Amino acid sequence: MTSRIASAIALLALAAAPAWIGSDYYLNVLSQVLIGAIFALALNVIVGYGGLVSIGHGALFGIAAYAAALLLNAGYGHFAAIVFGLLVTLVATALFAVLSLRASGIGFMMITLAIGQLLWGLAYRWVTLTNGDNGINLAARPQPFGLSLAGADAFFYATLLVFLAALVSMTSFIRSPFGESLVGTREQPRRMTALGFSVWRIRFFACLFSGMWSGVAGLLFMYYNQFISPHAMSLSASAEALLMVIAGGSGTVLGPIAGAALVVIMKFVASAYIERWNFVLGAIFVFIVLVMPEGVLPGSARLLGAAWGKLKGADARA
Amino acid sequence: MRALEIQGLTKAFGGLKVTRDVNLSVEPGERRLVIGPNGAGKTTLFNLITGELRPDAGRMSVFGQPLDDLPAWRRAHLGLARTYQIITLFPKATLAHNVCLSVLGLSRARWRPWGALAREQAFDARARETLAQVELAHLAGRRLSETSYGEQRRTEIAMALAQRPRLLLLDEPFAGLSLDERNDVRKLLARIPRDVTIVMIEHDMDVALELADRITLMHFGEVVVEGTRDEVVAHPRTREIYLGA
Amino acid sequence: MNLLPLLTINSFTLGGLLFLLSAGFSLIFGLMRIPNLAHGAFFMLGAYIGTSLLIGLKWNFWAAALASALAIAVFGMVLEWLLLRRLAGREQAQVLVTLGITLMVADGCLVFWTGDPISVRTPAGLHGSLAVAGTAFPLYRLAIIAVAVAIATGLWLLLEGTRLGAKIRAGVDDPVMARVVGIPVPRLFTFVFALGAGLAGFAGVIGSPILSVYPGLDLDMLPLALVVVILGGAGSLVGTMAGSLLVGFVFNFGQAYFPELAYFVLFLPMVVMLVVRPQGLFGRGAA
């Protein structure tokens, strides 16, 4: 019951954000948190619930953006560009999955890394198509139903809507029979096979779901910046997304959101005070993997719980 | 039509032959016991039947359905279920949820990406019903990690029974159980109706011999003796293998 | 002027440099079963330390290379002992830690050496070129090939001729059995990780006259090491040699003839190999 109230309050606070967040700058940061959260939630489907660590998801994030950007600059409208972007992502994800799912564990990691690098390399070097490192600029953001998304407020609301859709989708997914079977494959793939589940197919469709939402996040990112460059598909971008998932707590719905908040806020806010935020990010990564592999939220809960237990024990003895 | 028909099954790992030209026939409703010293290849045989391992040669069929190219996950849909020597359940989930997954595995619903599984009455009811069969209904809401080893072994059996199998493979169901627990499992197994064919690997002779109709003795990957309980017990090779050098 | 001879020599040079970089990666991957994502960072850090020794303290080039190698080896040893050992058996976690280390080292280098690229002069005595059949082959590039061959020989002697090498090979082939026969696998891990790191650091200095030293060098080199080891096979010296030459040639010729698809031509075989034959061309042990 309390978690429902907390969620409701959080949602209200988000909905009213433009009111209580003074500057456009910070509102934009919040938009980026939400975009990061969508990407992290998508990645979490594979990493957290599926138990397969991917370090190539930046490719899926970026390919949607590039596909859409190319179509836009070819003169097509936003709707067509978005649909095209998502279609390309779907095909790319299917290929990504078919190749990567030949293995699991470290093998899966390596193949995702390799594919990520392959696609990044294309974006970076195929200059005639992608403009290479200079990236592709977009003239304008879309105008759904005639409403302009140029301002920070409007864009924030658009992002918030997509985020809420993602949130509902994720929650529904993870509680569904398919979602539960995905978690089952993470825990006991042998057993699941003996029970009649096709572990490969489950992972494949989970990849598609994950890829689609990664593409959605990529499109939002593209519209936010009105620009896309190969950096979005780089190893550091994939690592950042992975950090969001792991830092926050993989295998939960709130975890990736918290992780995204942590990483984005570090990037934009802390970087004003701490020059080398990448170092801090790396250190947090190492710390979390060593001390709280389950992520900051569950890990802190565990450590706090243990501390609380010790205190109560001390009280009882006193 | 035989419940299980195996012909010329062979499997080798590198130079080591773990299954040598095994022939096995089990009639529907039969209780077949597979015995043999450690390393005889009994669990490997199960792994070959369920599809976790691919044989080098030989044919297998379950109720007339050939298993040759059937992927492991499809074999459960033929009515094949098994338990494992080591516990491969879901420790953080409740007993009911564990058995629920078992029921889900054979249902079309397992592809549905919406609608909470937890709220599926039908699955929950089936799960509890199966847990009642193994006398664990009272622990349905308990986390697996908070139950005893004996209770977990019974949950293993419940998982297999929940699949409503035609052919049930039990891999050492009595392993590590106390005398009382063994009694419980023995009674449980005796209660299983004859429309389920059972093939069981076991070391605990007393309990297993009681349940068995026919016995297959394996040694170094081969079938050495096969017959009724009395035939096998009296056979000179049995004594040789169990009491010999 | 015929580009071919020069392109060929450059490919051998790049191959040699890649060998120096990837030999360590291959050993680490073969023995510890983890792709060390910090390997590019070791290369870069070694190169940066080299620049300080060469430009700041005016050391001899080769002395600087060796000193840098030693420094990075120690660094690697400390990292393995402090961090990776704690996660023994959890390879995925170890890979994530190496990722974190990469981020930290990259930023650390930015702080120490700032963001400007640093160029390094070729060492004394190797400035000119050797004229052969009408083409001028830069001496230093030939020297790199010689160094690579020397190091390869040294590693081969270590692996095939010493007891330590035998233990390493045993660990690569069958880690479980190695433990069973009493090989101290954890200490071996530390040694191999340190050796691999040191080799990368050494390679960084050796490569600096050609590549120069700049932020992002780590992420430029890491994928190349990855391709080399995946194509050639982890844990195998011959495999790393073969992979290095292959990548050297494909990269150089790719850059020359299809610059836009250079990376694609490079990474596609890697993806194919991972999917079709994960142990690479000459790989030993389980993938």
Mean pLDDT of A82-100: 94
At position A246, the amino acid (one-letter code) is I
Same domain, B121 and B176: no
Q: Whole-angstrom Cα distance, residue A34 to residue A217? A: 9
What's the pLDDT at A129?
85
Q: Which range, of A62-66, C8-12, C14-18, C125-129, averages the lowest pLDDT?
A: C125-129
Residue spans of alpha helices (H) in chain C: 3-32, 39-51, 61-79, 91-113, 139-161, 163-173, 175-180, 185-211, 217-232, 237-257, 262-276
Q: Which chains does A contact via 3+ CB–CB distances below 8 A?
A: B, C
What's the pLDDT at B37?
85
For chain C, what percent of residues have pLDDT higher than 90? 44
Q: Whole-angstrom Cα distance, residue C69 to residue C74? A: 9
Q: Whole-angstrom Cα distance, residue A130 to residue A134? A: 9
Q: State both tokens at C36.
A: 């060390």
Q: Which range, of B72-76, C153-157, C163-167, averages the lowest pLDDT?
A: C163-167
What's the pLDDT at B179?
87
Q: Please count the residues of chain A.
A: 318
pLDDT tens digit sequence for B177-190: 888 888 888 888 99
Q: Do chains C and B touch (3 or more CB pairs under 8 A)?
A: no
Q: Which chains does B contact via 3+ CB–CB distances below 8 A?
A: A
Buried/exposed B169-183: b ≥16 CB within 10 Å, e otherwise: bbbbbbeebeeebbe
Find residue C277's DSSP bridge partners.
none
Q: Is C94 helix (H, G, I), strand (E, B) or coil?
A: helix
Burial class of A146 by CB neighbour count within 10 A (0 to 12, 13 to 18, 19+): exposed
Q: Which range, of B71-80, B173-182, C174-183, C226-235, averages the lowest pLDDT?
A: C174-183
Cα separations in angstroms, B96 against A212, B111, B118, C203: 33, 20, 10, 58
**How, if at all, do strands B167-171 and B80-82 pair?**
parallel
Q: What is the mean pLDDT of chain B?
A: 89
Q: Please count the residues of chain C.
A: 287
Mean pLDDT of A134-139: 86
Residue B63 counted as domain residue:
yes
Q: Please count the residues of chain B.
A: 245
What's the pLDDT at A318?
47
What's the pLDDT at C152?
93
pLDDT at residue A312 is higher than 80: no
The residue from B144, B164, B184 where one domain ends is B164
pLDDT at residue C280 is higher than 80: no
pLDDT tens digit sequence for B100-142: 999 999 998 899 988 888 888 889 999 999 999 998 999 988 9
Find residue A228's DSSP bridge partners.
A136
Q: Whole-angstrom Cα distance, residue A119 to residue A111? A: 12
Same domain, B160 and B185: no
What's the pLDDT at C287?
38
pLDDT at residue C72 is higher than 60: yes
pLDDT tens digit sequence for C19-67: 999 999 999 988 888 889 999 999 999 999 999 999 888 889 999 999 9
The residue from B117, B135, B164 where one domain ends is B164
Burial class of A243 by CB neighbour count within 10 A (0 to 12, 13 to 18, 19+): buried
pLDDT tens digit sequence for A15-39: 887 778 778 888 898 999 999 999 9
pLDDT at residue C286 is higher than 50: no
Q: What is the mean pLDDT of chain A?
A: 87
pLDDT at residue C91 is higher than 70: yes
What does pTM read for this prediction?
Answer: 0.88
Same domain, B72 and B178: yes
Q: How many domains does chain B have?
A: 2
Task: Identify which has the larger pLDDT, C151 or A107.
Answer: C151
Q: State both tokens at A62.
A: 């970026």
Going along chain A from its start, the domains and CATH numbers come out as 25-317 (1.10.3470)
What's the pLDDT at C39?
96
Closest residue in chain C to residue A98, using alpha carbons only: C275
Residue B238 counted as domain residue:
yes
- Dihedral angle computed from the Cα positions of residues A243, A246, A252 and A254, in that order, rounded to the nearest 10 degrees: -40
Number of cross-chain residue pairs from A and C with Cβ atoms under 8 Å apart: 136
Q: Domain limits at B114?
A: 92-164
Answer whether C103 sits within 8 Å of A239, measured CB to CB: yes
Mean pLDDT of B166-181: 90
What residues of chain B lie within 8 A of the CB of A190, using their CB? 52, 88
Burial class of B158 by CB neighbour count within 10 A (0 to 12, 13 to 18, 19+): buried
pLDDT at residue C125 is higher than 90: no
Mean pLDDT of A55-70: 94
End-to-end CA distance of chain A: 34
Q: Whole-angstrom Cα distance, residue A154 to residue C141? A: 58
What's the pLDDT at A234?
87
Q: Whole-angstrom Cα distance, residue C242 to residue C131? A: 28
Residue B175 counted as domain residue:
yes
A 167-226 residues with CB < 8 A to B:
172-173, 175-181, 184, 187-188, 190-199, 205, 209
Q: Whole-angstrom Cα distance, residue B140 to residue B133? A: 12
Same domain, B9 and B41: yes
Q: State both tokens at A114.
A: 């390799």
Distance (Å) from the alpha carbon of A102 to chain C's nearest alpha carbon: 6
pLDDT at residue A299 is higher than 70: no
A289 at interface of C, judged by CB pairs closer than 8 A: yes
pLDDT tens digit sequence for B52-102: 999 999 999 999 999 988 999 999 999 999 999 888 899 989 999 999 999
Distance (Å) from the alpha carbon of C276 to chain A's nearest alpha carbon: 9
Residue B30 counted as domain residue:
yes
- Dihedral angle computed from the Cα positions of residues C57, C60, C66 and C69, in that order, rounded to the nearest 10 degrees: 40
- Dihedral angle computed from the Cα positions of residues B132, B134, B138 and B139, in that order, rounded to the nearest 10 degrees: -130
Residue B85 counted as domain residue:
no
Mean pLDDT of A125-143: 85
Answer whether A194 sits within 8 Å of B113, measured CB to CB: no
What's the pLDDT at B99?
94
pLDDT tens digit sequence for A160-209: 999 999 999 999 999 999 999 999 999 999 999 999 999 999 999 999 99
Same domain, B121 and B169: no
Q: Name which of A105, A118, A279 is nearest C264 (Cβ-Cβ).
A: A118
**What are the phi and psi torsion angles at B81 (to 5°)?**
-140, 150
Same domain, B35 and B69: yes
Residue B130 counted as domain residue:
yes
Q: Whole-angstrom Cα distance, residue C201 to residue C72? A: 6
What's the pLDDT at B245?
45
pLDDT at residue A5 is higher than 90: no
Contact A133, A227 (CB under 8 A): no
Task: Identify which has the larger pLDDT, C58 or A3.
Answer: C58
What residues of chain C lie within 8 A of the CB of A275, using their CB? 111
Same domain, B151 and B192: no
pLDDT at residue A275 is higher than 80: no
Same domain, B72 and B175: yes
Q: State both tokens at A124.
A: 């970076």
Q: Which of B87, B92, B111, B166 to mutate to test the interface with A (most CBs of A within 10 A)?
A: B111
The residue from B164, B197, B220 where one domain ends is B164
Q: Which range, of A91-95, A264-268, C238-242, averages the lowest pLDDT?
A: A264-268
Mean pLDDT of A43-71: 93
What residues of chain C lie within 8 A of the CB of A293, using their CB? 93
Q: What is the CA radius of gyration of chain C?
A: 18
A 227-256 residues with CB < 8 A to C:
234-236, 239, 242, 246
A 38-57 residues with CB < 8 A to B:
none
C216 at interface of A, judged by CB pairs closer than 8 A: no
Q: What is the CATH number of the domain that holds B229?
A: 3.40.50.300
**Quick one: chain B helix, strand, coil %, rounded to 5?**
40, 25, 35
Residue B87 counted as domain residue:
no
